[in-house]
Amino acid sequence: MTTPRNCSIKMLSLSSKSNNLNFPFADITELQRNYPVPSSDFATAYNATAGMWRDAHMLCPASNLATLRTTELDLPVWRYRFDHVANNLNSRGVRIGAFHGSDIRFVMGQWRTIVLSPPFVAATPQQVAISDIMVTAWTNFIKGG
Amino acid sequence: MGKCIVDPQQGPRIPGWNKYDPDDSSTLAILGTSTEGALPGDHLAADRSCAYWNTLLPIFPQVLYVASKLNNVNDPLSGRLFRLVGIGHAERNAIRLVGRSFHPAATLRIHNFGLREYCKSRPVLLPRTICKLEKL
């Protein structure tokens, strides 16, 4: 017998399977055109597939939301892309580029925690300065004019 | 009395970071590369792949609203299995397909909502784009 709870679990399972993600529906020609390997943007297939996931699940929804809020709802939007790449932010180094969530320790002023996770290298003066800029911008937003 | 944002219209303020305007490619700020502020320049090139992804995004998530419709036992489509065959634009009661088909093995189980509800359940990103379902 199907109960709401069973159905919820079933739906959770379906949502985690690949046939509910974008790639089974993908157009190979379009993907190769948008994510050429090797290229300046995508040195390896690893970078290209990461870029596909980034764009499908993060970048394009954010782009659409920002654009529609601006054009359709006439609401103010401030949009940014965090492009800081450094070898002390994760154990895989710079080859993975700027990755999801890497801006959090900067915007929250938590650069001191960078040294606490692999590869255990402290934040640089440049990273502290970047964090200070972002914290200042956010707090100025809250404090108002 | 709680405090509130005095003037939210001013937004966050970094030198060179302005309110986003889709028609002004310099208003997508690049942060994290300069210690002075937002990196100036044309940055909307980062969105170039969205023309492609926006042909797919409207059909996802495929199961988001199922749980909320479980009590709709009168739905004639409840429990049916459908094949997702394409996306298109709604024109009154008609569906105009965009002109491409999807993987034939991709299937979608529709539990308790009909085609109209299903297609109305994803208006956030592209309100006029809907899916077409084919009964197996």
User: For residue range B5-15, what is the model confidence (pLDDT) as tens digits?
Assistant: 777 788 888 88
Do residues B89 and B98 touch, judged by C-beta distance below 8 A? yes
CB interface of A with B, residues 81-100, below 8 Å: 81-84, 98
Helix (H, G, I), strand (E, B) or coil at A138: helix
Best A79, A102, A105 residue to mutate vs chain B (most B CBs within 10 Å): A79
**pLDDT at residue A112 in the model:** 97
Q: Residue A79: what pLDDT?
A: 92
Confidence band, pLDDT 50/70/90 cuts, at residue A109: very high
pLDDT, residue A131, reads 96
pLDDT above 70 coverage of chain A, percent = 81
Contact list in B for residue A64 (CB cut-off 8 A) is 50, 54, 57, 125-126
Complete DSSP assignment for chain B: -----S-GGG----TT-----TT-GGGEEEESS-SSSSBPS--GGGGTTHHHHTTTGGG--SSTTTGGGTT-TT-TTTTEEEEEEEEEEEETTEEEE-S----TT-EEEE-S--HHHHHHT--SS-TTEEEEEEE-
Quick one: what percent of chain B has pLDDT higher than 70? 39
Q: Which of A64, A129, A143 sits opposite B125 (nearest CB)?
A: A64
Q: Are strands B28-31 and A79-82 parallel, antiparallel or unpaired?
A: parallel
Tell me the average pLDDT across A40-48.
91
Is residue B109 over pLDDT 90?
Answer: no
Q: What is the pTM of this model?
A: 0.64
The Cα angle at residue B123 between residues B55 and B109, in degrees rounded to 5: 75
Contacts of A78 in chain B (CB under 8 A): 11-12, 17-20, 29
User: How many other CB atoms are found less than 10 A from the CB of residue B20?
Assistant: 20
Contact between residue B65 and residue B44 where contact means Cβ atoms under 8 Å apart: no
Give contacts of B 39-58 with A, CB under 8 A: 39, 43, 46-50, 52-54, 56-57
pLDDT at residue A68, rounded to an integer: 83
Structure tokens at A5: 């709870």
What are the structural domain ranges in chain A?
Answer: 26-79, 84-145
Q: Is the pLDDT of residue A41 over 60?
A: yes
Cα(B104)–Cα(B101) distance, integer angstroms: 8
Confidence label for A118 from pLDDT (cuts 50, 70 and 90) = very high
Kindly state the average pLDDT of the residues B50-68: 56
CA A56, CA A72: separation in Å to the nearest integer? 22
Going from N- to C-terminal start, the domains of chain B cover 1-48, 52-135
- A51: three-class secondary structure by DSSP: helix
CB-CB under 8 Å, B19 with A77: yes
pLDDT confidence of residue B110: 33
Q: Is B46:B119 a contact under the CB 8 Å cutoff?
A: no
Q: Do B32 and A103 touch (CB under 8 A)?
A: yes
Residue A121 is predicted with a pLDDT of: 96
